[in-house]
């Protein structure tokens, strides 16, 4: 395991994530990058776009998607990634891989997406942290080997989509599997806000297991947990077993 824990002042978080992302892309313009949507990454995406992020040689994989929402719904992940990031960039990614919930054959769509991800692997996966400990839509109960699949949503996840402006609550989801996340070369777990403090403490100091899927990341060979100070506030003074703290690390980790 190699878990680094980076804490940033809330007003530095977006810029520091953006600058580290620009560094990674500069080092490897053709990287295969998996991206989440949601309120956590959106400010970092805005900062990265403002600084001229260029993904024109990169492959972008969209982490997950809601089912049961009409095309164009503002809570859909394909809409959100365009609004928050891709639509702000001067050029499209070289390749863009996403799960389409509007197909007739969802199982075939999952298999197509998963094969495309598996073919080249993932260099860097960015993740938000669900209030229930989910990663993507790997909801509580997801084992470390859980594959890319169609999923039932927790009630809180479904109703939470309404806070993203959904016209109705999504009725199901599709997600990159835990297995692909665990096989990625590098993972960043992004966590902001005091409302995530208790679940982040559980992720980092509680038992590793399916009841808090993000806890599986403690078994990943190269993960960086990047939290703002409010999200890290419940960890003050608690040593993290096995973690390298980079609270005073330079802007890039």
**Residues in binding contact with ligand PGA, number by CB under 6 A:** 7
- Residue 38 binds to ligand PGA (criterion: CB under 6 A): yes
- DSSP of 64-103: EEEESS-TT-TTSHHHHHHHHTGGGSSS--SEEE---TTS
134 tagged catalytic: yes
- Per-residue mark of binding to ligand PGA, 104-143 (x: CB under 6 A): ------------------------xxx---x---------
Contact predicate 124/34, CB 8 Å = yes
**Measured distance CA(193)–CA(200) in Å, rounded:** 10
Any catalytic annotation for residue 64? yes
Is 16 in the active site?
A: no
DSSP, collapsed to helix, strand or coil, labels residue 58 as coil
DSSP state of 33: E
Instruction: Give the pair of three-digit tokens for residue 214.
Output: 């993000």
Residue 141 tokens, joined: 């109960």
- Burial group, residue 249, by CB count within 10 angstroms (0-12, 13-18, 19+): middle
Options 2, 39, 171, 252; binder of ligand PGA; rule CB under 6 A: 39
**How many CB atoms are closer than 10 A to CB 185?**
13
Instruction: Name the segment binding ligand PGA (CB under 6 A); options: 38-46, 47-55, 165-173, 221-229.
Output: 38-46
Q: Closer to ligand PGA by CB, 134 or 220: give it.
A: 134
Closest contact distance (angstroms) between CB of 10 and ligand PGA is 14
**Minimum CB separation from ligand PGA for residue 160, in Å?**
7
CA 252 to chain centre: 18
Question: Is 132 considered catalytic here?
Answer: yes
Kindly give the pairing relationship between strand 3-8 and strand 223-228: parallel
In the complex, minimum distance from the CB of residue 26 to ligand PGA, in angstroms, rounded to a whole number: 26
Q: Please tell me which residue in 15, 116, 132, 186 is annotated as part of the active site.
A: 132
Answer yes or no whether residue 170 interacts with ligand PGA by CB under 6 A: no
Q: What is the number of the residue whose Cβ is closest to ligand PGA? A: 38
Q: Which of 65, 84, 114, 134 is catalytic?
A: 134
Q: Enumerate the active-site residues.
A: 64, 132, 134, 139
For ligand PGA, the binding residues (CB under 6 A) are: 38-40, 128-130, 134
């Amino acid at each position: 395991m190699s878990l680094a824990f980076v804490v940033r002042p809330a007003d530095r978080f977006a810029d520091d994530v953006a600058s580290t992302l620009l560094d990674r892309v500069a080092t490897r313009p053709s990287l295969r990058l998996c991206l989440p949507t949601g309120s956590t990454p959106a400010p970092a995406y805005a900062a990265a776009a403002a600084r001229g992020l260029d993904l024109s040689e990169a492959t972008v994989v969209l982490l997950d998607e809601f089912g049961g929402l009409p095309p164009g719904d503002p809570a859909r992940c394909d809409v959100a990634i365009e609004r928050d990031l891709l639509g702000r960039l001067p050029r499209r990614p070289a390749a863009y891989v996403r799960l389409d919930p509007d197909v007739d054959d969802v199982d075939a769509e999952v298999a197509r997406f998963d094969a495309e991800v598996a073919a080249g692997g993932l260099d860097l996966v960015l993740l938000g942290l669900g209030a229930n400990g989910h990663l993507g839509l790997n909801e509580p109960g997801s084992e470390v080997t859980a594959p890319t699949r169609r999923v039932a949503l927790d009630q809180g996840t479904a109703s939470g989509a309404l806070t993203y402006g959904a016209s109705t609550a999504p009725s199901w989801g599709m997600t990159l599997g835990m297995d692909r996340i665990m096989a990625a070369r590098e993972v960043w777990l992004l966590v902001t806000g005091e409302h995530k403090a208790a679940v982040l403490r559980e992720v980092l100091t509680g038992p590793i297991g399916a009841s808090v899927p993000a806890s599986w990341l403690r078994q990943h060979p190269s993960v960086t947990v990047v939290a703002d100070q409010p999200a890290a506030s419940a960890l003050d003074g608690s040593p993290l077993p096995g973690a390298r703290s980079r609270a005073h690390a330079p802007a890039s980790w």
